[in-house]
Amino acid sequence: MMQVRKAADRGVAEHGWLSSRHTFSFADYRNPNEVGFSDLRVINEDRVAPGQGFGTHPHRDMEIFSYVLEGTLAHSDSMGTGSKILPGDVQLMSAGTGVTHSEFNASNDEPVHFLQIWIMPAHTGGKPVYQQQHFSEADKRGRLRLIISPDGEDGSLRIQQDTRIYAGLLDGDESATLTLENDRHAYVHVARGSVALNGEKLEAGDGVRMRKPETLTLGGGKDAEVLVFDLRPHELPRMP
């Protein structure tokens, strides 16, 4: 079964320096029907003005994943990490027992456009961990490239949950198929462009819940960038 959540139905936050769209309930946006799916808790699409950003703030017991679409994001944290995250980079921070971090637009001239995604961890506590990996356009072109997994398979980043995340770029005649175990759930988020999922046309910002889908087929893309989440088969996020 496919359940489509259209981009226009997401929560909206406008703060001048920040323009954000919330797929699930977050901050001042509260929707009792949209509090996550399986272990997926947050998908925020953020556009941050030049020289602006999120000051130092804490997290714990959450897997936090950033995916830059345009511009450059500057990261700093209490683990001593200082990095710049560019399009094609995947950043994953396991907050564990607690970490503070900041995220700023690294440019004083151009905006930064990125997704921040939260996944519930498999266990609480543990030492905070930072990971960052670049996946080239060729890695994702016309296919679904594994970028995050619980075991670091195929050079992916290692997440502390039974979740696999794929990224794909699809245009024109390009297509990609993913086969899941029979009892898995999936969530598909269109980061930009347009694409068809199992024949259903989707636009940028649209998301789709899928329960026990077995096979996902993406095609008919127009400059599409897509994230696919292979998730445990339960309905709502919950702490372990």
- How confident is the model at residue 50, as a pLDDT? 98
What does R_g of the chain's alpha carbons equal in angstroms?
17
- How confident is the model at residue 38, as a pLDDT? 98
Give pLDDT tens digits for 145-199.
Answer: 999 999 999 999 999 999 999 999 999 999 999 999 879 999 999 999 999 999 9
- Tell me the CATH number of domain 2-231, given options 2.60.320.10, 1.10.533.10, 1.10.3720.10, 2.60.120.10: 2.60.120.10
- Alpha-carbon distance values, 26 to 23, 104, 154 (Å): 9, 20, 32
- How confident is the model at residue 1, as a pLDDT? 78
- How confident is the model at residue 181, as a pLDDT? 86
Contacts of 155 (CB under 8 A, 6+ apart): 133
Per the document, the length of the chain is 240
Pick from 60, 110, 117, 109: nearest CA to 90: 117
pLDDT by 10s per residue, the chain, length 240: 799 999 999 999 999 999 999 999 999 999 999 999 999 999 999 999 999 999 999 999 999 999 999 999 999 999 999 999 999 999 999 999 999 999 999 999 999 999 999 999 999 999 999 999 999 999 999 999 999 999 999 999 999 999 999 999 999 999 999 999 879 999 999 999 999 999 999 999 999 999 999 999 999 999 999 999 999 999 999 999
Q: Are 225 and 235 in contact (CB under 8 A)?
A: no
- How confident is the model at residue 49, as a pLDDT? 98
Strands (DSSP E) contained in 31-125 are: 40-48, 53-59, 63-70, 73-77, 82-85, 89-94, 99-105, 112-119
- How confident is the model at residue 182, as a pLDDT? 79
- How confident is the model at residue 173, as a pLDDT? 97
